[in-house]
Amino acid sequence: MTLALDTPARPEGTRAPSAAGLRATARILARPDSVGLTRLPVLDGDGPLALRRVGAPGRQARVCVVGAMSAPLGGDRLGLDATVEAGGALCVTAAAATVALPGRTGEPAHYDVRLTVGDGARLDWLPEPLISAAGSDLRMTTTVELAPTARLVLREEQVLGRSGEETGALRSRLTVRRAGRTLLDQETAYGPGVPGWDGSAVLGGHRAVGQFLVVSPDFDDRPADVRLLGAAAGERSAADEGQGVLAPLAGPAVLATAVAPDALRLRRLLDEAARSAAAG
């Protein structure tokens, strides 16, 4: 179990959002010690982003993000910075889905995630889904900086609208750089004001979309094969179960992209992708 050598998190949920929205940034720093365990010298929650250390066997430290208040609301500006220093190992999960909600000002909310992974280090970034509720407007960015021998496992899931409601506006950008060079840079947009987002060329009527990314030096000598997932593999109905594809990137990485009717079936597809990526 990782020993507690961490700075205490500041009290969460004590600040009421202003009319202009809430400003909050949470920070995680993971650092290996002399015996190979990963410590958390910085575990600093802020506003709605409460951070909880989770016991885990082995050298990897584990952190769970817990929502301390409803967020992001329109006008909020939230951030989460996580750094894994050389040789460290960190897994970040979440206690529940993040729900983007409309605010009082009509302004969009912003949620910026910045991840840095050093040489020989590993980061598993495995949050729960992001739900875009009706009337919300969220701009989300995830930026990852990887050292040449860093390893990354990243899952991203987006659900467009809660049960029985329309989706809000959601714009999301994922940028991954390895050794200073761009490995992946993609931007998606769904909901009101985005032409064709629900058409057959994009989501085809589905309401859940996600991706699973693995970056590892192992793929330098053993590139991944293209594999179809779910209904795309001819095993099930696309309307019932969704579909996806797992494909290598131009670099030591593999990316799965999937669409499904709901979050549960999307997770099944991404779990299938995870098993395929692990099996090579």
Quote the CA–CA distance of 14 and 23 in Å, as a whole number.
13
pLDDT greater at residue 57 or residue 70: 70
Tell me the two tokens of residue 254.
């593999």
* Domain range summary for the chain, segments of one domain joined by +: 23-279
Question: What is the secondary structure of 20-83 as a DSSP string?
Answer: TB-EEEEEEEEEE-TTSPEEEEEEE-BTTEEEEEE--SSS-EEEEEEESS--PBTT-EEEEEEE
Residue 154: predicted pLDDT: 98
| Apex 57 CA angle, 52 and 61, nearest 5 | 40
Nearest to 256 by CA among 158, 155, 176, 174: 155
Tokens of 222: 């053993």
Cβ contact 138:171 at 8 Å: yes
Query: What is the distance between the alpha carbons of residues 171 and 249, in angstroms, rounded to a whole number?
Result: 23
Kindly give, in sequence order, each residue whose CB lies less than 8 Å from that of residue 278, ignoring residues fewer than 6 positions away. Answer: none
Q: What is the pLDDT of residue 5?
A: 37
In the predicted model, is pLDDT for residue 267 greater than 90?
Answer: yes
Mean pLDDT, residues 51-74: 91
At 264, is the secondary structure helix, strand, or coil?
helix
Looking at residue 6, its pLDDT comes to 42
Tokens 């987002």 belong to residue: 197
Query: How far is the C-alpha of 33 from the C-alpha of 88, rounded, in Å?
Result: 9
Which phi and psi angles does 40 have, rounded to 5°? -125, 80
Give me the phi and psi of 200, to 5 degrees please: -65, -25
SS3 266: helix
Give me the pLDDT at residue 238, please. 52
Of the pLDDT bands very low, low, confident and very high (cuts 50, 70, 90), residue 279 is confident
What integer best gives the mean pLDDT of the chain? Answer: 89
> Strand 243-248 to strand 253-260: parallel, antiparallel, or no bridges (unpaired)?
antiparallel
> Strand 89-94 to strand 77-84: parallel, antiparallel, or no bridges (unpaired)?
unpaired
Please say if the pLDDT value at position 251 is more than 80.
yes
Question: What is the reported pLDDT for 236?
Answer: 57
- In this predicted structure, the answer to whether residue 143 has a pLDDT above a threshold of 60 is yes
**pLDDT at residue 139 in the model:** 98
Spatial separation of the C-alpha atoms in residues 57 and 164, rounded to whole Å = 41
pLDDT over 90 at 49, yes or no: yes
Taking only the tens place, the pLDDT of each residue in 9-34 is: 444 443 444 557 899 999 999 999 99
Assign 126 a pLDDT band (cuts: 50, 70, 90).
Answer: very high
pLDDT of the residue at 3: 34
Task: Work out the percent of the chain whose per-residue pLDDT is above 70.
Answer: 90
Tens of pLDDT along 83-119?
A: 999 999 999 999 999 999 998 888 999 999 999 999 9
**Token couple for 242:** 């969704």
Q: Identify any residues that bridge with 151 across adjacent strands, giving them in sequence order.
A: 122
Encode pLDDT of 187-228 as tens digits: 999 999 899 898 888 898 899 999 999 999 999 888 888 999
